[in-house]
Amino acid sequence: MLKTLLILCGSLLLCEGGLVKIPLIKFVEEKNLSHELQKLQIKFNITDIATMPPKYHYLDFSFYGKITIGTPPQDFLVLFDTGSHLLWVPLKTYTLDNEDFGRHHQYDPEKSQTYQLNGQPFFMIYESGYLSGHLVEDTVSLAGKEIQNVTFGVATYRPDATFRYAPYDGVMGMSFFNSSLHYAQPIFYDLMKQHKLEENVFSFYYLRNGSTRLGGELTLGGINPDHFEGQLHYVNISRKYHWQFEVESAHVNKIQVCKKCQVIADTGCNGIGLPRDDYHRVNRAIGATIDPETYQFVVDCNKINQLPEITFKIGDGIFTLSGQDYIKRLNNRCVSGFHNIGSAKFWILGDLFIGKYYTVFDFDKSRVGFAKTKQNIQITI
């Protein structure tokens, strides 16, 4: 099935009018909240993130797209992650423990004419294990747009509990670069350095509605006005490390739950991450109660349409999420999409928000833009 989806996705890649358009494949996944929080802890260096019972799961959409690496090209399905910097994929090792990577596509340097060894190790620690490997260089192609000499990671070991059953092969980081902290430049920096795009801008469109596997589009080089309605509202980056900006305020009904909060737009986060006090404040404001079995906030599934909206004032725009937007389901349980990220000093706006609002990441002007997503259209081929 995954091979078929890669072929389908590959057949739809477009590069026209200076825009590079990468269709995104939509999966409905059963997520383990403990593992999702571990990933956030690593990305954002949160030392005391909440620990969750391993049995706590929920259903949510995830969005992945195709890239190719090497000459001739090798296909990979990756998570495009604005919350991290490194591109990494599994390495083919020809050893008995190669089963660590299960059914995922694995990079084979012996089959690439443009492969170069870098050799620097990389290492990421998770509660369920560690992701490790070394850096290499090769050609990477995004919708037919070739980028030469990209430095990326090839993983030789990863924690099964966190990654083994994920539908994607690897991750393509799209955050800002910090030479003192990061292993290699994000691939978007290579695109800019090699002058591959008309504008140093990328934008995400997620199609959360409908049953189609085509779940949206990543546009490189600008924006696609077919995917949003109304005006784009921009806000300046407040810290050029993550895609971090200030939200002037957020309210649930008339209860203010945020005032001049620092927020990070993160396509690698499924829900909305909140510091511990805000997590309790927001969930109580929407009327959620603690489930004694999982210690998570839940609501009555029959009353989702009656839940209050949460309203954000970002720049000169007003953005709202309804109960239908921020509640997740699994079987007969309806759980809050607001997650506890411990002592963090910022909020994380993940797919729950980006799925409703077309999101533009503008390197040239150091800003993020939002507009209401058109949910009733398909990707134009």
Q: Please give the positions annotated as active site.
A: 81, 266
Pairwise CA distance, residues 319 & 51, whole Å: 30
Q: Which two tokens stand for residue 203?
A: 């934008």
Q: 84, 64, 17, 65: which is closest to 242 by C-alpha? A: 84
**Residue 167 contacts residue 77 (beta carbons within 8 Å):** yes
> What are the beta bridge partners of residue 339?
273
Q: Are strands 255-265 and 243-252 parallel, antiparallel or unpaired?
A: antiparallel
CB 326 within 8 A of CB 336: yes
Asked if 337 contacts 272 with a C-beta cutoff of 8 angstroms, the reply is yes
Per-position b or e across 79-109, b if 16+ CB within 10 A of its CB: bbbbbbbbbbbbbbbeeeeeebbeebbbbbb
Quote the CA–CA distance of 34 and 41 in Å, as a whole number: 11
Quick check: helix, strand or coil at residue 198? coil
DSSP lists the bridge partners of residue 23 as 217
Q: What is the dihedral of CA 30, 4, 83, 36, to 10 degrees?
A: 20
CB 304 within 8 A of CB 334: yes
Residue 363 CA to its chain's centroid (Å): 18
Identify residue 377 by its one-letter amino acid code. I
Q: Which two tokens stand for residue 160?
A: 């099964």
